[in-house]
Amino acid sequence: MYFDFICPWCLIGRRQLQAALAQFKAAQPQVEVNLAWQGVQLLPELPFNGQPFAEFYRRRLGSEQAVQQRQAQVRLAASAVGEQIDFSRIQRMPNTADAHRLLLHASELGSETQVEALLERLLAAARLAPSGANLQPGRFWAVEGAVRERLSAALCQAWRDQVPEAEDYGYFPRPMPLALRKRQVAAAQALYGALGVARGDGAGRAAQFERNYRFFDAPVALIVTIDRGFGAGGFMDLGMCLHGLMLAAQSQGLASCAIGALASYPQIVRDALDLPASEVVVCGMALGWEDAGAPVNRTRTEREALERYFTVLR
């Protein structure tokens, strides 16, 4: 597949191909399809720092009317494959040379088989975590390809439509005590501050939050579930296992982010993964290589002073 990052038709084509491949796989499960992605710069002549988007298109298509017509055509084709394209949010038409270089670099880092082998090693290490009576609660599901696409599309849609679901378990205390609310607000401020999203910018915050449902575009996306019969003890054991996984990943030069936001839509997750009602959706996890230059990774949180949570009684 030849593609460029700036081309909406490439994205639309990719979604159509995925749907076609899913149909094909259902009809011909014995045939293995190998996809090779080949980046191509469609507009190599663009200046290194890009150009203002609106101006670029007006010049390219000749008039504002022609731009409107073309964008309406693209939006229509995109919505037919479940994508919403908001051209008004695109400020610049970038030169994609660096993006292609990065892709090339990333694709040399690990094939699908290598990634899966690494994941197995990490999970085996995480599973060494102790658990009460060695019950080893919890299951990990890696979602890839069409399953991941379908899951993310359904979660993003529910988030945009603000369709609430009954959660399987309560994560935060209800009501939230003021002292904890302050920590929550400080964490949110650290995150949105690092991202440069202003306090009153509801749309910016919503867009960042939606990234949870795309697993922050990490190469590995995991869902973590636990059998409905377990109580708080089982969650505690699973928490240790999760921390083991995060530490094992870090020891291999990887980074991770647990995604509690997934627990807000347990039924959507179960439907996409075809899981029975007995599986409680605990959280998700994004795993991959840290993009050290990304503003989000400049987020720094603080911890309470030791005496706030440790007491010696005599």
Q: Which residues bind ligand FMN (CB under 6 A)?
A: 187, 212, 257-261, 283, 299, 301
CB of 185 to ligand FMN, least distance (A): 11
Token pair, residue 136, equals 């080893």
46 or 246: CB nearest ligand FMN: 246
Query: How is the chain split among helix, strand and coil, in percent rounded to 5?
Result: 55, 10, 35
Distance between CA 201 and CA 219 in Å, rounded?
A: 29
Beta bridge partners, 226, equal 280
CB of 299 to ligand FMN, least distance (A): 6
Distance between CA 137 and CA 227 in Å, rounded?
A: 7
Q: Where are the beta strands (DSSP E) in 78-122?
A: 92-93
CB of 286 to ligand FMN, least distance (A): 9
Residue 269 CB neighbour total at 10 angstroms: 24
Distance between CA 168 and CA 279 in Å, rounded?
A: 9
CB of 37 to ligand FMN, least distance (A): 28
Q: What are the angstrom distances between the C-alpha of 107 and each of 110, 111, 115, 267?
A: 6, 7, 11, 34
29 or 173: CB nearest ligand FMN: 173
62 or 233: CB nearest ligand FMN: 233
257 or 269: CB nearest ligand FMN: 257
257 or 268: CB nearest ligand FMN: 257
Distance between CA 195 and CA 22 in Å, rounded?
A: 36
CB of 246 to ligand FMN, least distance (A): 8
23 or 301: CB nearest ligand FMN: 301
Beta bridge partners, 258, equal 285
